[in-house]
Amino acid sequence: MAKAPAETAEERLIAKYFRPLARHPGAFALMDDAAVLTPPDGSDLVLKTDAIVGSVHFFIEDPADAVARKALRVNLSDLAAKGATPAGFLLSLALPTDIGADWLDAFSRGLASDAERYGCPLLGGDTDRTPGPVTIALAAFGTLPRGTMVKRSGAKVGDRVVVTGTIGDAALGLKLRGQSDAAARWHLDGQMRGHLLDRYLLPQPRNAVAELVRKYATAAMDVSDGLAGDLAKLCRASGVAMEIETARVPLSDAARTALKAEPELIEVILAGGDDYEIVCTVPAADCNRFCKACADKGVPAADIGRVVAGQGAARFLDAARREIALAKTSFSHF
Amino acid sequence: MAKAPAETAEERLIAKYFRPLARHPGAFALMDDAAVLTPPDGSDLVLKTDAIVGSVHFFIEDPADAVARKALRVNLSDLAAKGATPAGFLLSLALPTDIGADWLDAFSRGLASDAERYGCPLLGGDTDRTPGPVTIALAAFGTLPRGTMVKRSGAKVGDRVVVTGTIGDAALGLKLRGQSDAAARWHLDGQMRGHLLDRYLLPQPRNAVAELVRKYATAAMDVSDGLAGDLAKLCRASGVAMEIETARVPLSDAARTALKAEPELIEVILAGGDDYEIVCTVPAADCNRFCKACADKGVPAADIGRVVAGQGAARFLDAARREIALAKTSFSHF
């Protein structure tokens, strides 16, 4: 018999870095053309793709394990906001030639760790060369009982507007990356600076409260392009407007300190993006119960305003109920 | 009431070019965070992701409608080989700034046309900027009765090896793109040259025979990295070997003409890749019936050899049953 042909370099790369992650039986150890997922009868599959591109969504010098986690987490955040339980993901990875073994090793370790943590296994993938920056396109899948996905379109006049976690940290963290003097100008101590930088580097998706969102929310979405713009999208989808009491928008100590030093940062906080929190609308009668239940899961949730009649606008009001004008409500690459 | 905030440029781009494709109810007109797919009870979902990168998998000057089609078709080809019926896809599109409206218009038209043709609707997507070349990562989903996905691992000693269509055309087409004198050297007329170029530009996935593959094949995969290397992968997954009668590998008139002019092109034909045909193993007793049923669906299928005992090797034999030595069995980016 002839000797078996050697595996290709691509097969060896996959075997070394990604096969250890592919323990789901439907991944066939990454040795088939496709993966299989068996959704429980009576369920829907929720599907999401979001890519991150080097020097666009992350810095090339960011630790590769954090890059991997970010790529997965930005997708997990959408599944959480829709009320879905993670079921797995596909990874499409385009690698420049200067990416070496160390990067791939750290990348695959970060990915393995979050896949385990969030119960979202690698099902399959594709690796390619690119003359451009490293590009990570991930498609994530979740399941939920049929017909129960929480949409953007269900907000009702009278509902309360609730947001998880804190807003603006990641956008301020990104600013810190670009401005060496900002931390001093904003009177941040080392811990505050670290908090903001971490929040940009590594989103904290709120999958812990996905089931509560499904139980209580009339509409929901993840906050990724800026709270102001994302609320406007939710308003447009639901055919409503909102009044947000800006003082109730939850801020970290770091963001609060920076905002006190530079009040115009309110724009960055409300429109900067990369928050990966959940914003949702909840019937007023359920609001306290929902916020309490989120807190019990370790996720703070704040009532920040109300749904009112109107067309597609979210108005941010100051303490005197005057509208705060935002030059830009949302982050957009285009 | 305040005026509704303007939609972002990204939302406008999506609305203009991609919303018209998103007619599946679970796509929510691309106005939600995620899509929903309701797999029929008792079914499995088959999931595949494959990306194509400008100047790696296609030429930047290729017509954008063909690029879009190729991005979808390379994934459809995998679904076909696994026996799955297309259910939809997610698109992650990274665009350099020099991509204009004309390109996007043609790209979305090509995508719409193939989504319709193959019954594989756009479910959702993501658009990003990239400083690199246009990068199209697509994740495609298919369904089939639970437990019936055709794997690479089921080939049995005694099975026949069957391949659809013709082999080597796309790899020769790619060579034609790079060598202006090749067409003359290979004695190709204009139609033959056009055939090879077309086969590189636009794969013809064999979704028409997916159900037959599920009914008859013991193992299957799509031929994308070169017949020789892909057969070796199938052999390794199944723990068998193969004897392929090289003269029975189906060639187009164009490939046959080129091969006659330059016999060493056999290597390009057998190992060049981009075929997007299906290769499968079929019990000997069913082989004629399977090939006939494929032909009835408009897809030629040829019996090219047999599965034998052994470890992971596919031997290509000449008319005298001597093994043809291939320097390289497979295309690899790495």
Q: Which residues of A touch B13 (CB under 8 A)?
A: 334
Query: Do A133 and A167 have their domain in common?
Result: no
Tell me what the mean pLDDT of segment A92-113 comes to. 96
Tell me what the mean pLDDT of segment B51-63 comes to. 94
Is residue A328 situated within a structural domain?
Answer: no
Rounded to two decimals, what is the model's pTM? 0.95
Instruction: Indicate whether B2 pLDDT > 60.
Output: no
Is residue B322 situated within a structural domain?
Answer: no
More confident residue, B12 or B48: B48
Residue A77, pLDDT score: 98
Query: Do B110 and B192 have their domain in common?
Result: no
Cβ distance B38 to A79 less than 8 Å, yes or no, reads: no
Kindly provide the b/e burial profile for residues B262-285, where b requires at least 16 CB atoms within 10 angstroms of the residue's own CB. eeebbbbbbbbbbbbbbbbbbbee
Query: Do A140 and A182 have their domain in common?
Result: no
Q: Which residues of B touch A129 (CB under 8 A)?
A: 53, 56, 333-334
Main-chain phi, psi angles of B93, to 5 degrees: -120, 115
Q: Which residues of B touch A135 (CB under 8 A)?
A: 94, 130, 132, 135, 137
Tell me what the mean pLDDT of segment A191-202 comes to. 97
Query: Do B166 and B292 have their domain in common?
Result: yes
- For A78, name the nearest residue in chain B, comparing CA atoms only: B33
The number of folded domains in chain A is 2
Q: What is the CATH number of the domain that holds A281?
A: 3.90.650.10
Cβ distance B4 to A78 less than 8 Å, yes or no, reads: no
Task: Report the range of poorest mean pLDDT among A304-313, B9-18, B325-334.
Answer: B325-334
Q: How many residues belong to chain B?
A: 334
Q: Are strands B241-245 and B160-164 parallel, antiparallel or unpaired?
A: unpaired
This model of the complex carries an ipTM of: 0.94
Burial of A61 (0-12, 13-18, 19+ CB in 10 A): exposed
Tell me what the mean pLDDT of segment B290-296 comes to. 98
Alpha carbons B185 and A299: distance in angstroms, whole number? 69
Residue A123, pLDDT score: 98
Hey, of A130, A214, A280, which one would you mutate to test binding to chain B, going by the most B CBs within 10 A of its CB?
A130
Compute the CA torsion angle A69, A75, A76, A82 (nearest 10 deg): 170
Q: Is the dihedral of CA A225, A229, A230, A233 positive or negative?
A: negative
Alpha carbons A227 and B225: distance in angstroms, whole number? 45
C-alpha distance from B192 to closest chain A C-alpha (Å): 30
What range does the domain containing B197 cover?
A: 160-317
For B248-287, write each residue's pLDDT tens digit. 999 999 999 999 999 999 999 999 999 999 999 999 999 9
Q: Are strands A277-282 and A43-53 parallel, antiparallel or unpaired?
A: unpaired
* Contact residues for A119 (Cβ-Cβ < 8 A; gap 6+): A85, A86
Residue A6, pLDDT score: 54
Residue A270, pLDDT score: 97
Per cent of chain B over pLDDT 70 is: 97
Query: Do B288 and B264 have their domain in common?
Result: yes
Instruction: Indicate whether A2 pLDDT > 60.
Output: no
Query: Do B312 and B167 have their domain in common?
Result: yes
Alpha carbons B197 and B204: distance in angstroms, whole number? 13
Residue B314, pLDDT score: 94
Main-chain phi, psi angles of B282, to 5 degrees: -135, 135
Q: Which residues of B touch A5 (CB under 8 A)?
A: 228-229, 232, 312-314, 329-330
Residue A171, pLDDT score: 97
Cβ distance B123 to A47 less than 8 Å, yes or no, reads: yes
Instruction: Indicate whether B116 pLDDT > 90.
Output: yes
Is residue B221 situated within a structural domain?
Answer: yes
Alpha carbons B49 and B68: distance in angstroms, whole number? 15
Tell me what the mean pLDDT of segment B303-309 comes to. 98
Residue B313, pLDDT score: 87
C-alpha distance from A192 to closest chain B C-alpha (Å): 30
Cβ distance A37 to B49 less than 8 Å, yes or no, reads: no
Which among B110, B145, B180 is the end of a domain? B145
Query: Do A18 and A124 have their domain in common?
Result: yes
Tokens encoding B181: 């004198």
Alpha carbons B152 and B234: distance in angstroms, whole number? 5
CA atoms within 13 A on the CB side of B42: 1
- For B78, name the nearest residue in chain A, comparing CA atoms only: A33
Compute the CA torsion angle A271, A274, A276, A278 (nearest 10 deg): 10
Query: Do A22 and A129 have their domain in common?
Result: yes
Query: Do B16 and B99 have their domain in common?
Result: yes
Checking A40-44 for CB contacts under 8 A at 24+ apart, the result is: A40/A143, A41/B41, A41/B42, A42/A145, A42/A146, A42/B41, A43/A143, A43/A144, A43/A145, A43/A146, A43/B39, A44/A143, A44/A144, A44/A145, A44/A146, A44/A147, A44/A148, A44/A149, A44/B36, A44/B37, A44/B38
Q: Are A65 and A106 a contacting pair, CB within 8 Å?
A: yes
Query: Do A182 and A110 have their domain in common?
Result: no
At position A169, the amino acid (one-letter code) is: D
Whole-number average pLDDT of chain B: 95
Query: Do B233 and B277 have their domain in common?
Result: yes
Compute the CA torsion angle B19, B20, B26, B29 (nearest 10 deg): 40
Q: Are A331 and B129 a contacting pair, CB within 8 Å?
A: no
Confidence category of residue B125, pLDDT binned at 50, 70, 90: very high
C-alpha distance from A229 to closest chain B C-alpha (Å): 8
Q: Which residues of B touch A49 (CB under 8 A)?
A: 90-92, 124-126, 137, 139
Alpha carbons B268 and B131: distance in angstroms, whole number? 33
- For B90, name the nearest residue in chain A, comparing CA atoms only: A49
More confident residue, A18 or B327: A18
Instruction: Indicate whether B3 pLDDT > 60.
Output: no
For A28-78, write each residue's pLDDT tens digit. 999 999 999 999 999 999 999 999 999 999 999 999 999 999 999 999 999
Query: Do A164 and A261 have their domain in common?
Result: yes
Is residue A155 situated within a structural domain?
Answer: no
Residue B162, pLDDT score: 98
What DSSP letter does each residue of A246-272 carry, written as one string?
A: GGGS---HHHHHHHHH-GGGHHHHHH-
C-alpha distance from B145 to closest chain A C-alpha (Å): 10
Per cent of chain A over pLDDT 90 is: 92
Residue B58, pLDDT score: 94
Tell me what the mean pLDDT of segment B113-131 comes to. 97
Residue A11, pLDDT score: 85
Q: Are strands B85-95 and B122-129 parallel, antiparallel or unpaired?
A: parallel
Checking B17-23 for CB contacts under 8 A at 24+ apart, the result is: B17/B104, B17/B105, B17/B107, B17/B108, B18/B91, B18/B108, B18/B122, B18/B125, B20/B108, B20/B112, B21/B108, B21/B111, B21/B112, B21/B115, B21/B121, B21/B122, B22/B121, B22/B122, B22/B123, B22/B124, B23/B121
Edge-to-edge strands, sheet with B35-37: A122-129, A85-95, A135-145, A43-53, B35-37
Alpha carbons B7 and A329: distance in angstroms, whole number? 10
Instruction: Indicate whether A3 pLDDT > 60.
Output: no
Cα-based angle A60, A62, A65 (whole degrees, multiple of 5): 115
Q: Which residues of A touch B310 (CB under 8 A)?
A: 1
Q: Are B99 and B61 a contacting pair, CB within 8 Å?
A: no
Q: Are strands B35-37 and A43-53 parallel, antiparallel or unpaired?
A: antiparallel
C-alpha distance from B162 to closest chain A C-alpha (Å): 17
Burial of B147 (0-12, 13-18, 19+ CB in 10 A): exposed
Residue A9, pLDDT score: 84
Q: What is the CATH number of the domain that holds A20?
A: 3.30.1330.10
Alpha carbons B294 and B298: distance in angstroms, whole number? 7
Is B140 in a helix, a strand, or coil? strand
What kind and span of H or E run contains A52? strand A43-53
- For A34, name the nearest residue in chain B, comparing CA atoms only: B48
Residue B175, pLDDT score: 97
For A248-300, write each residue's pLDDT tens digit. 999 999 999 999 999 999 999 999 999 999 999 999 999 999 999 999 999 99
Is residue B326 situated within a structural domain?
Answer: no
Is residue A57 situated within a structural domain?
Answer: yes
Look up tokens 């034609």; give the residue: B176
Q: Which residues of A touch B332 (CB under 8 A)?
A: 8-11
* Contact residues for A228 (Cβ-Cβ < 8 A; gap 6+): A270, A271, A314, A316, A326, A329, A330, B5
Alpha carbons B312 and A11: distance in angstroms, whole number? 14
Q: Are A160 and A260 a contacting pair, CB within 8 Å?
A: no
Is A281 in a helix, a strand, or coil? strand
Residue A96, pLDDT score: 96
Is residue A327 situated within a structural domain?
Answer: no
Cα-based angle B223, B229, B232 (whole degrees, multiple of 5): 105
Which among B118, B145, B172 is the end of a domain? B145
How far the first Cα of chain A sits from its last, in Å, is: 58
Residue B11, pLDDT score: 85
Is residue A330 situated within a structural domain?
Answer: no
Cβ distance A49 to B126 less than 8 Å, yes or no, reads: yes
C-alpha distance from B12 to closest chain A C-alpha (Å): 9
Tell me what the mean pLDDT of segment A89-117 comes to. 96
Question: Minimal CA–CA distance to B268: which of B250, B253, B252, B255?
Answer: B255
Instruction: Indicate whether B72 pLDDT > 50.
Output: yes
Cα-based angle A46, A224, B9 (whole degrees, multiple of 5): 100
Which among A145, A170, A189 is the end of a domain? A145
